[in-house]
C-alpha cells in the first residue's frame, strides 16, 4: 500500500524547497537522452510527492486547480529518472524519458518550438519544430463505456 501524497507532503525533503506564496514551485522537464528542455510547469507538494511515488511526472494545473498526471489524456507520460533542485532551492528540474516523443499539447516534441529570428526592431517568432501528431488525433474524444 502506498503512502497518501498528503502524508508525503510533510516529508523533510519537501520542506527544503522554497515554495512560492501559492505553495507552488516551477518545474522544468528535460529529456535525459537529448538534454532538450521539453516543457515548463508547476508543482505543489502533493504533485511532487506523487511524482516521487509513481516515478512519473505529476504537475499542478493552475487553470484546472488540480493535480495533472502528464499523459493522462494523451498517453505521453514522462518517466522520471532524476529530480534536481537548483542552488536557490526554488526551481525543480526533472530529467525524464518522454513517452511517444511528444511533450507539447500542440503535438510537438517540445513546448519550446517558437524561435526568435531577426533583431529588436524587425524580429518575429517562427516555428522551429514540426508537428509530430495532430493534436485533434491525440485528444480525440474517447467513446464512453456502457455498463
CATH of the domain at 37: 3.10.20.810
Q: Is residue 67 part of a domain?
A: yes
Instruction: Dig out the grid coordinates for 85 from the structure.
Output: 533542485
Whether residue 86 lies inside any domain: the answer is: yes
Phi-psi group of 140: left, alpha or beta (phi > 0 → left; psi -120 to 50 → alpha; rest → beta): beta
Number of domains the chain contains: 1
Residue 123, in any domain of the structure: no
Supply the range of the domain harboring residue 58: 23-101
pLDDT in tens, the chain (147 residues): 455 555 665 788 999 999 999 999 999 999 999 999 999 999 999 999 999 999 999 999 999 999 999 999 999 999 999 999 999 999 999 999 999 999 999 999 999 999 999 999 999 999 999 999 999 999 886 555 544
pLDDT of residue 8: 62
Q: Would you state the pLDDT for residue 84?
A: 98
- Side-chain-facing half-sphere of 102: CA atoms under 13 Å: 20
76: in domain = yes
Domain assignment present for 94: yes
Is position 69 within any domain? yes
Please give the model's pTM, rounded to 2 decimal places. Answer: 0.86
Write out the DSSP string of 60-104.
Answer: EETTTTEEEETTTTTS--EEEEEEEE-TTS--EEEEEEEGGG--S
Helix (H) or strand (E) holding 137: helix 135-138
Is residue 141 domain-resident? no
Domain contains 59: yes
Amino acid at each position: 500500500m502506498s503512502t497518501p501524497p498528503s502524508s508525503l507532503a510533510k516529508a523533510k525533503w519537501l520542506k527544503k524547497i522554497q515554495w512560492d506564496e501559492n505553495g507552488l514551485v516551477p518545474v522544468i522537464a528535460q529529456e535525459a537522452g537529448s538534454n532538450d528542455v521539453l516543457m515548463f510547469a508547476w508543482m505543489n507538494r502533493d504533485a511532487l510527492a506523487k511524482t516521487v511515488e509513481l516515478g512519473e511526472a505529476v504537475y499542478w494545473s493552475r487553470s484546472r486547480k488540480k493535480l495533472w498526471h502528464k499523459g493522462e489524456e494523451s498517453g505521453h507520460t514522462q518517466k522520471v529518472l532524476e529530480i534536481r533542485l537548483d542552488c536557490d532551492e526554488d526551481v525543480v528540474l526533472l530529467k525524464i524519458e518522454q513517452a511517444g516523443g511528444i511533450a507539447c499539447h500542440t503535438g510537438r516534441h517540445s513546448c519550446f518550438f517558437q524561435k526568435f529570428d531577426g533583431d529588436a526592431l524587425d524580429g518575429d517568432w517562427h516555428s522551429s519544430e514540426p508537428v509530430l501528431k495532430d493534436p485533434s488525433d491525440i485528444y480525440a474524444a474517447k467513446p464512453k463505456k456502457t455498463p
